[in-house]
Structure 1
């Protein structure tokens, strides 16, 4: 059996610890802490004190050696980390309530303990926000939480750093009183002289314990008046040892008893409703305390959808278009002076066509289509305006344009090439902006179609004569007025449903992780499943509200009235599944990232990846073939296509394309769960 001794609360034997297989942090360390005593662990930074404490708590495991704790229940162990590790947004009272609920302490006991600790540790009013307290006050608060549940073994890592001498003395008096009442305390400190108040000191250097005795006895044996002198004298002796004397590698894997195993804090507790309640209550407090951020997160999807709907899809207006109309001489005659036009006189009147000028009608229609038509006297001036970016296109009407156009239709197959050329409308467009150039081309074609249609109607002829030999029938799905916004709207809805949970989940998990908060919670018994469940409940509330609101915003006739022919319930369900995948992806990000900054960079990169490769900004059919295959397996590519089909085609769950959108998105849930499990298994202390 493990040699514990009848009065030992903590016992470490032949402890070896290395992270890289070469450099040992602990080198055959032996440590014995008697029950009901204060054990002060002294040593310079980097000597292995924190590593040893982690091994005592079960946060890390030894490469070789054994650790034994007499009291292994989580409720029997109190821990104060070197970092303050407090929720800065909560009040003192809320923190006491949070930890009280975590350890299932009743309300009366919580109030009684809080009142005592506030007084003895000289803490501010319990309504004080922790983040507004001084560093010393926060450290005292951290100490108060470590002893709040009345543990039997107390492990304190640098508890008196930054505190004034009077308060340090008060804390040491409290520790001695606790030891007299059956508590075992292990404390690390840089203040060597204060360790004289302990029952035993252990002096560490280079991963080994140089001495382990009562302070006064150690000082007497070394002939020192001060404990600090005794510490320095032991370190000087140890300094003369070579690195080869520190450790014998072949002994690093010899256990004192092969039948024995380490017995540290037992974290194998079942899922607890009182800890879940504590986590949910804390989350609600923090949401209320950071109300502006909460409202921002809640409202952000509506702002994104609204700004997208208002900023995209509408026709550009007031685009400057240069024109030269040689049918109407620039200096002597203008379209404003025209008294007759196609609406009251046929342009193919062979006896008199001088009062009908189709160029004027076309220019008038373009102006009504909100194009800014700018007249120039010569082609050179107009072309120069386009080159200088004063105009996006140049339109040129030749001499007697209407007359030649009339002749073209009257002569039919006998028309001369010269007449055909003179009847053309010449257009030169700046093609540097594809969308604008496409818009200008379509407006010119629409203008020609409208003007010629009216012209032939006035001539009592079938206006189909002027139409291109191509007839577009009624659309199978959608309408002829379908815009680019109608194509990209479901993409924005899908991306918003996915990306915001990614950011929120990663931010919240890393918020707990930063500063040792999550580390402290796990040591206090909070299970990851309880933290994840609490976060899931809060996040689901946000998701349900946001997705329902964005659907109303986009598809309701009260707002943007985007085309929607499908099932509201099916669409809402698909959006919530997309958000769930986003939540899980955000959790994976939090496991892979060391800080919120890392997660933000990674998340932004993934956001752009989704935009470009999931068919949001451009159809996947236009991608490189290899990218099309890659895009197919991304979490929201087919889901976005399904949203489009639900909206514009009215398909339901019975359609294979909608089923495929659901299936590919749902398939990511087990994938992300497995990835999360593998990361957590590989990174044992992923929460640090």
Structure 2
């Protein structure tokens, strides 16, 4: 946008000539009167530099003047009784995992209806104390009171409608338009549609934003920052907290923003906390808090500070205070230890503030009650936001919808099918006895004879399906065995010379058959048994074909075909069919596993992405609870899961001809619940993972053990007894069994193998939600 001043590259304020390090003291100075501004080209203070007149003028012209040709701020700290305190921080301590204190003995008091400028260099703890004030982080020790209550307590309104927060980062959705962004956050604050439109139109005009239909991702850095300011102001909060709002903003617009802040303070009695690197800009505040190394060095009106230190520029005051703090660092004085007592003597203790300051209900009576209604509105708003994010990324949406179905397709194509064709060797010594050398010749001899005893070996081989067993003939067992050793065939069978006559004698008079007849009617099998799937399929096929061959021979020779039957009779199955393959067993479990783990990964990545983007923190400051965020995401995901489940079931039923014997509706509901279980676990993983790759790796590491131990690829009965009991604790085991029981057996919800699958996944969802909410609250202390 014309007139915008872009922010410094690489986020380094020292590269921008408008920035002055607030705690940069040259140790070479012996006299405080000789203190000069730090040179931007001398960041570590090794050289001396004096402030040139031009640089002072540049700095002063960059920001609006105080009590001059610009904003006229009323002196709120002089000759009057202080206003009630909106924010009171006492003896605050905060450190992160490194152990280095970010806040140490930090004390701060912000009066109602004032602009409080928090001045400090990068890394001094400004953003940390602001995040603690708005309730997204907690102190290690000390107290914070906002509107007389601790942040997050009932009555504080923080996080919630009573605070407007602009973080240091942009923290906006790049795919949203300006209008959609303001509408979204206004809806989170449960504003009416007319109020949102009125405030939105005014903010677009006031902040000189592009047209509302312009997407945030296409804006310049300065324009994005102005949109971020608009988000903080959209709901007219009682407390407005702006973290570095004027970085990269045009000087004229910066002056306009300050004028508006002053107007809000004077007319609406709004309280504003603003952080800045621009020292002279802080003179626009009613009170200044100078922060260094996690503590407050001074907290007074800027004019009073300049009078106390006999300075004409606030920059001189800052440098003096920083140098004084540097001298005192090595030797703690009693004066510093008594600082808390001095503050309490002036402002009173937090307890007195709680007793004297009106409650949140008095401040905003409109917000009293209706919490469930507001929560419902926020959940719908979050769900609508998630849907818009997906729709704007339509290629990603198509990918998400089709990937589970594609994975089911590929896994069903690759797993559970009967192996074929399998190469198998044949050594037929009947060729030598007959003088013929091919089965075609032997079968030609048998064609015109009834109950012929010639070439029964070829008659049997003819019953083997060619698409399953690919026959290769060898003259000797040694040749066939060598082929097995070379990996060319899976094994071979050998027919003796008198097989035909010996086998007929055996079946015609089995009780009188001698040893020679029994040996002559036997077929020798030598196989490669390294693959149980291959060898097992071959043996079953050989047995079934030999039974059919024997029945045909008995019938041809006038005997009862039932003589070929085993005494063990297998009648029609109660469930399934004789030709049910392993794929039908595995497909239901595979579908459940994919519907669980794909949403798990996507939800975890999305949650971490929003954390890193800063939109999650901004949403929480708006008063949204963790369960509302999860509920909003679950609503959007439910529609996606419905489509994913339908597509997966279509793949299974249409392409692979697996009939759903039971209720199709139950299958869809179970698939959606399993997907919601994955989403809930994804939120749990996202709560303690910092990077998307961490969540992805953890999900992958969990996938295979769960699949292997849940009876998806192999029956539970094939595992040791201990693992069988352990598998019931896994989220996919009981749902897999329930899905298999519905699809293959047709059992309804009341069956003891079906309802536990539904109860199990619902229980896991509740467990994941409780643990996620607990971890989220736990993480506030970090």
The TM-score, its normalising length taken from structure 2, stands at 0.76
Structure 1 residue 563: deviation in Å?
Answer: 4.0
Aligned to 2:420: 317
- Where in structure 2 are the equivalents of 1:579-594 lying within 5 Å? 579-594=675-690
Aligned to 1:207: 294
Structure 1 residue 488: deviation in Å?
Answer: 1.4
Q: 1:66 to 1:617 in 2, by over 3 A?
A: closer
Aligned to 2:706: 610
For residues 193 and 325 of structure 1, the distance between their equivalents in structure 2, rounded to whole angstroms, comes to 104
For residues 662 and 341 of structure 1, the distance between their equivalents in structure 2, rounded to whole angstroms, comes to 64
For residues 268 and 625 of structure 1, the distance between their equivalents in structure 2, rounded to whole angstroms, comes to 57
Aligned to 1:132: 218
Aligned to 2:460: 362
Kept in 2, the 8 Å contact 1:345–1:458? The answer is no
Structure 1 residue 574: deviation in Å?
Answer: 4.1
Q: 1:251 to 1:37 in 2, by over 3 A?
A: closer
- Where in structure 2 are the equivalents of 1:407-422 lying within 5 Å? 407-409=505-507, 412-422=510-520
- Where in structure 2 are the equivalents of 1:251-400 lying within 5 Å? 257=349, 259-260=351-352, 270-271=371-372, 272=374, 273-328=376-431, 333-340=437-444, 345-346=449-450, 349=452, 353=453, 356-400=454-498
1:493 partnered with 2:591: yes
Aligned with 2:257 (options 174, 178, 186):
174
Aligned with 2:118 (options 17, 29, 41):
41
Aligned to 1:64: 142
For residues 394 and 196 of structure 1, the distance between their equivalents in structure 2, rounded to whole angstroms, comes to 96
Q: 1:568 to 1:280 in 2, by over 3 A?
A: closer
Structure 1 residue 531: deviation in Å?
Answer: 3.0
Kept in 2, the 8 Å contact 1:342–1:455? The answer is no
Kept in 2, the 8 Å contact 1:15–1:26? The answer is no
For structure 1, list consecutive stretches of 5 or more residues without a partner in the other structure.
none
1:15 partnered with 2:98: no
For residues 10 and 634 of structure 1, the distance between their equivalents in structure 2, rounded to whole angstroms, comes to 50
For residues 775 and 243 of structure 2, the distance between their equivalents in structure 1, rounded to whole angstroms, comes to 28
For residues 335 and 520 of structure 2, the distance between their equivalents in structure 1, rounded to whole angstroms, comes to 100
Aligned to 2:277: 190
Larger deviation, residues 114-123 vs 183-192: 114-123
Secondary structure at 1:477 match in 2? coil
Q: 1:496 to 1:100 in 2, by over 3 A?
A: same
For residues 247 and 576 of structure 1, the distance between their equivalents in structure 2, rounded to whole angstroms, comes to 65
Secondary structure at 2:328 match in 1? coil
Aligned to 1:231: 318
Aligned to 1:402: 500
Larger deviation, residues 306-315 vs 284-293: 306-315
Structure 1 residue 596: deviation in Å?
Answer: 3.4
Structure 1 residue 206: deviation in Å?
Answer: 2.0
For residues 51 and 175 of structure 1, the distance between their equivalents in structure 2, rounded to whole angstroms, comes to 24
Aligned with 2:174 (options 88, 99, 108):
88
1:480 partnered with 2:578: yes
1:158 partnered with 2:244: yes
Structure 1 residue 535: deviation in Å?
Answer: 2.5
Kept in 1, the 8 Å contact 2:627–2:769? The answer is no
Secondary structure at 1:600 match in 2? helix
Structure 1 residue 482: deviation in Å?
Answer: 1.5
Structure 1 residue 84: deviation in Å?
Answer: 1.6
The TM-score, its normalising length taken from structure 1, stands at 0.85
Aligned to 1:50: 127
Kept in 2, the 8 Å contact 1:10–1:70? The answer is yes
Larger deviation, residues 442-451 vs 96-105: 96-105
Aligned with 1:30 (options 86, 89, 107):
107
Structure 1 residue 644: deviation in Å?
Answer: 2.5
For residues 31 and 253 of structure 1, the distance between their equivalents in structure 2, rounded to whole angstroms, comes to 10
Kept in 1, the 8 Å contact 2:627–2:773? The answer is no
Structure 1 residue 186: deviation in Å?
Answer: 2.2
Q: 1:423 to 1:157 in 2, by over 3 A?
A: same
Q: 1:91 to 1:449 in 2, by over 3 A?
A: same
